Chains A and B, each alone.
Chain A
Amino acid sequence: MAFEPVLLRNVGKPGVRQVAGYREAGGYKGLEKALGMEPDAVIEEVKASGLRGRGGAGFPAGLKWSFIPKGNDKPKYLVCNADESEPGTFKDRILMEQDPQQLIEGCAICCWAVSANTCYIYIRGEYVEQAEILEEAIRDAYANGILGDDVMGSGFKLDMYVHRGAGAYICGEETGMLESLEGRRGQPRIKPPFPAVVGAFGCPTVINNVETLCNVPHILERGADWYKSIGTDERNTGPKLYCVSGHVEKPGTYEFPIGVTMNQLIDTCGGMWRGAKLKAFIPGGASAAILPAKHADLPLDFDQLAKAGSMLGSAAVIVMDENTDIVRAVHRLAKFFNHESCGQCTPCREGTNWSELVLKKILAGKGNPGDAELILRICRNMGGTTLCALADAAVGPLRSLVQNFPEEIAAWIDNGGAGAEPRRYFAEEVLV
């Protein structure tokens, strides 16, 4: 049975950015149904669906919502994480520009479930067009009684704001985002307390990714059982957007039941670029370990990838063919993390910098035999020692370079790059 797109079903349909068009396409049934339910029942439904966060960590969404303390006088907030800044990720962008009402509906359901009357959509600064589309859609939702003092006639009050970021990867980390939202320097906070207890403006806050929230209307409308029937197993349920980039003929955002394999994705993308062979792929964005081609038949879901030593992350699948120089690709990623480390924790601030320097030195033909070991030791000192997960993210590609592609790094160190095979192009020229 062919898979019917769920999240992307409205892509390209005229008029769906407006409430009227979205309704015509079947929208706002989930919110209507949710408003007729007890908030706790909504949370239970989402829990039952097995929906896991699509932002990268894969934390169960319903469970996260249930952490919001009840009987607390403080206002509660939903912050939608639209700071899509993981390199290779471009799924939230499609969702926001093609079907903004779907996101508004998902946010509204979440707000109802956790009794939040205010929702912020924190969108990355570079998404100028998407921010404008969202604002237009929010205006239309206010005009049609979806937002405002009386959401769909239920008496529930909900305000929604678009907040534009200023260009920092770290503001995609949930507490860094809260700092930025509050007008401070974007750097992660100490956890605990977790945002569910002390979040935006010191109040209980749910933070969910755009794609996570876009799943919610469908869960409410069609039920948790239907949702669970999609995917590899009960821990990996629902539809998933895969952002395929790199050496394939037709890169783009593709929707599949969670757990599609690399080979299936390549086929869907029209095969490898110019028919070359697959050498490696990053399954989940810049933070994920690079896997060699032998894993191409692995279902790309949370647990299988974790078992393989990588992660689904944001499902930004970066495909590298046989002509890719993995060392250069990893150097580019190390440069990214060095640029984006917020600088507060010592291991991340210094480790991301040092690791980039080591790779740069290797690429300048000045590598030493001990450098692979050195990279691993930098990784060991960086990983798990910091406030947030950025250092762990930086460790992902570095460690996989040494562990999964030892021959690549050895070729550079032994021959100073001179003996390495001629390369037509490098990953850094393809990664945008």
Chain B
Amino acid sequence: MPTVTIDGREVEVEVGTNLIEAAKKVGIQIPHYCYHPRLSIVGQCRMCLVKIEGPPKLQTACTTQVMKDGMVVHIDIPEVHKAQEGVMEFLLINHPLDCPICDQAGECGLQDYSFKHGQAFSRFVFEEKRTYPGRERIPLGPSVVLNMNRCIQCTRCIRFTEEISGTGELGFFERGARTEIGVFPGKELDNPLSANVVDICPVGALTSREFRFAERVWYLDKKPSICTGCDVGCNVTAEHRRGAIKRYKPRFNPEVNDYWMCDYGRGTFRRYEELERLGTPAIAENGEQRPATWNDAIDRVHQSISQAPESAELAFLGTGFLTTEEAFLIARLADAAASPHRGVASEEGPTRTIPNLHGGISGSETSPNRRGAELAGLVAGDGGLGAAELMQGDGASRCDFLLVADGDPGSPLHDSEVVARLRQARLLVVMGWASTPLTEVADVVLPTATHAEKDGTFVNCESRLQRFRAAFPSPAGVRPAVEALADLLGRLHPDWRGLSTAQVFDRMAADLPTLAGLTFEELPAHGVELQAPAAVVGGGTPPAEDAHP
């Protein structure tokens, strides 16, 4: 591999690596706007001009590839600083500088580079900047709004629709200083990935219709999380203010969602706003639910299990929204009750495909973790009732006890016929975060944390185990399911009492050969691909050969 010297630091890179990526390796950021690692290189913004020993003129780092040994690059020299200043000045003269009312402020490439590479005064002394009257707030499609005045013509959005989404709705129109971006006549920026153009837009030209004016970005707490929209398991950043999620943004994971996520997934946090939250445990007496303490509610469940006669049928139904650890605890409960009746409710939904360098990844289930829940042991034993028998058949009517855990809205558990069937169990215990048709008819209701409020792991459609962390704590009165389940299980077997998610995972890893050698705290950032037996964990949709151009 050739070696290149960047500002005196030598770095060895693969043949063909461009200078922006090479510099990253030694911790040097070369400023750029139009360059994006997954988009074709156009060398248009001219922000990445650097001095290469040899050619008389400055060269763009994005278009310069390291092909052989001996290239010497200078970035931190006056000549390059002047060029960067010059480009910044050109970009800013016609930029509206309306940062106080711009959604991008705080995460804006122009702002950041102005501080770093710009100058504090303007020599542009004309009364009027270039504007595009009537094009200040044009909806390009259902997810994206364009303000042409702020555009710096980097064409990232155009190339995204051409090269990543493959839909080609956007183009350059006009020429020179009047150049503008827009949708082609008769088209709309309406594709499953459209909102990614908002993320890659370095300025406030493209903003999200969902997030516009929802929050100033510097008030947002940003925590790594995983999308629950389907079983792809896109890595996301959950951005919230005081426990209210304002948006999801994709978080880079080359093995899963790369830099992208779908528009559907971005909107999934809305369920936390739309549905009524369960605040306190409840116990039904004579058909009427009354608030109860956690201790009483857990006791009630504990007694039902521990005092059940030998002949009683106890069933445990989870969903694909459970974390693997929660599912594992429920499976342990079922073990304690010596019950073979267990299953995971899940449902096929539309196929959602995210492009990545491995040909794309497609998921078609509506919940993120059916595979993990099954791996953890929520699979019916010999002669046991599974999810299908409980939900579609008359399995529940044979049950003395049925625990249903964590069904998100949209889950098949809330279909009125399913609710009626499940209700036939003599005692119905429901854990979940939202008030749903099922919690309304339950005998015991246990309010638990949303996925943004808990730690855990999911196993995605390609059997990749990924960890996520709580973005913020649960509201008062609500407990993470792991805590509640450990409490319950602890009353049966004291050594389970008070276990954290990480401890539960580590016990699970000791139990399951598939997870052998893994520990919660040391799971790799990009997840682990599990070598799972196909019978337990589905293989996922094989990636299409040429799904990614």
Contacts and interface: CB of A to CB of B under 8 A. Distances in A.
B342 interface: no
A332 B426 CA distance: 90
Interface in B35-70: 41-47, 49, 57-58, 63
A344 interface: yes
B90 A351 contact: yes
A346 B93 contact: no
A99 B515 CA distance: 81
Given A350-B91, A374-B123, A381-B89, A343 B83 contact: no
A343 B91 contact: no
Contact of A384 (B58, B89, B175): B58
B175 A343 contact: yes
Contacts of B87: 346-347, 381, 385
B179 interface: yes
Contacts of A345: 43-46
B177 A343 contact: yes
Contacts, number: 94
Contacts of B125: 368
A352 B176 contact: yes
B86 interface: yes
Given A190-B63, A354-B124, A349 B83 contact: no
Contacts of B45: 345-346
B44 A354 contact: no
Interface string A330-356: 000000001111111111011111100
Interface residues of A, number: 31
Contacts of B43: 190, 345, 387
Contacts of B57: 384-385
Contacts of A341: 175-177
B46, B58, B130, B153 pick with most chain A CB within 10 angstroms: B46
Given A344-B155, A349-B153, A354-B124, A385 B175 contact: no
Interface string B115-130: 0000000011110001
Given A341-B175, A346-B91, 18 more contacts: A170-B175, A190-B43, A190-B63, A338-B176, A339-B176, A340-B175, A343-B172, A343-B175, A343-B177, A346-B87, A353-B94, A368-B125, A377-B123, A381-B83, A384-B57, A385-B86, A386-B46, A387-B43
A141 to B, nearest CB: 36
A260 interface: no
B49 A385 contact: yes
A357 interface: yes
Contact of A381 (B90, B153, B171, B176): B90
Interface of B: 41-47, 49, 57-58, 63, 83, 86-87, 89-91, 93-94, 123-126, 130, 152-153, 155, 171-172, 174-179
A344 to B, nearest CB: 4
A303 B157 CA distance: 44
Shortest beta-carbon contacts, A-B, top 3: A381-B86, A343-B179, A353-B177
Interface in A375-423: 377, 380-381, 384-387
Interface string A348-373: 01111110010001000000100000
Nearest to A385: B46
Contact of B176 (A342, A384, A387): A342
A341 to B, nearest CB: 4
Given A384-B57, A385-B49, A347 B86 contact: yes
Nearest to B86: A381
A381 B117 CA distance: 14
Given A350-B94, A381-B90, A343 B58 contact: no
A315 interface: no
Contacts of A170: 175
A346 B123 contact: no
A33 interface: no
B177 A350 contact: yes
Contacts of B91: 346, 350
A361 B123 CA distance: 13
B176 A346 contact: no
Contacts of B58: 384-385
Contact of B177 (A349, A380, A381, A384): A349
Contacts of A339: 175-176
15 contacts: A190-B42, A343-B177, A343-B179, A344-B153, A345-B46, A346-B44, A346-B90, A349-B153, A351-B90, A353-B130, A380-B86, A381-B83, A385-B49, A385-B86, A387-B44
A387 B41 CA distance: 12
B404 to A, nearest CB: 58
A338 B46 contact: no
A23 interface: no
A384 B90 CA distance: 15
Given A346-B46, A384-B57, A354 B90 contact: yes
B155 A350 contact: no
A357 B126 contact: yes
Contacts of A385: 46, 49, 57-58, 83, 86-87
A381 B42 CA distance: 20
A230 B42 CA distance: 43
